[in-house]
């Protein structure tokens, strides 16, 4: 496997698989079902090969994350910004991976996702405050507002993936 391993994670219904498929296909992909095991997708972005490991978000399947994250060169966390009722749970799971000492220094892209929804816009500042992302010092952190309905945000994510790896 020659390429950059990316671990894509977040809670169930955050939109991880739709995001991954939209990146891969360069078009909005909404026909997804809950992910039941890690899905690996190979994609070429600006002459860089990425292997996206899309992790299932259901509570009962989060134990697969430890196995899937090993060897990753980039972490992408996807937050359903429209669902502030799950911010506390999402924060706990987000930091469960980030606090793994074997992942120290691996860059992170944090996606405030589903930003096409009004509730996501309303919850954005709450989410930014809740996750305390400015306090993360041991790795490069890139914050993005994303939506599979806004292709400019997908392009920005792809640009940041490549730039972060080439940095």
pLDDT tens digits, the chain, 167 residues: what are they? 579 999 999 999 999 999 999 998 877 766 677 787 888 999 999 999 999 999 998 988 998 898 889 999 999 999 999 999 999 999 999 999 999 999 999 999 999 999 999 999 999 999 999 999 999 999 999 999 999 999 999 999 999 999 999 87
How many helices (H) does the chain have, and how many strands (E)? 5, 6
101-140 exposure pattern, b = at least 16 Cβ within 10 A, e = fewer: eebeebbbbbbbbbbebeebeebbeebeebbebeeeeeee
- Domains of the chain (ranges, CATH numbers): 4-166 (3.40.50.300)
> What pLDDT does residue 34 have?
77
pLDDT of residue 29: 65
**Rounded to whole angstroms, how far apart are CA atoms 95 and 131?**
9
pTM above 0.75, yes or no: yes
Q: How far is CA 32 from the centre of its chain?
A: 16
């Amino acid at each position: 496997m020659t390429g950059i391993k990316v671990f894509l994670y977040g809670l169930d219904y955050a939109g991880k698989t739709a995001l991954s498929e939209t990146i891969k296909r360069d078009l909005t992909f909404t026909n997804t079902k809950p992910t039941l095991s890690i899905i690996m997708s190979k994609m070429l972005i600006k002459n860089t090969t990425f292997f996206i490991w899309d992790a299932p978000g259901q509570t009962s399947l989060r134990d697969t994350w430890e196995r899937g994250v090993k060897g990753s060169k980039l972490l992408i966390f996807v937050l359903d910004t429209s669902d502030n009722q799950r911010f506390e749970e999402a924060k706990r799971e987000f930091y469960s991976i980030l606090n793994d000492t074997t992942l120290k220094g691996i860059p992170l892209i944090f996606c405030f996702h589903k930003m096409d929804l009004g509730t996501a816009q309303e919850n954005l500042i709450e989410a930014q405050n809740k996750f305390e992302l400015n306090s993360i010092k041991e790795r490069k952190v890139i914050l993005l507002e994303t939506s599979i309905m806004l292709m400019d945000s997908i392009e920005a994510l792809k640009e940041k993936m490549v730039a972060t790896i080439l940095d």
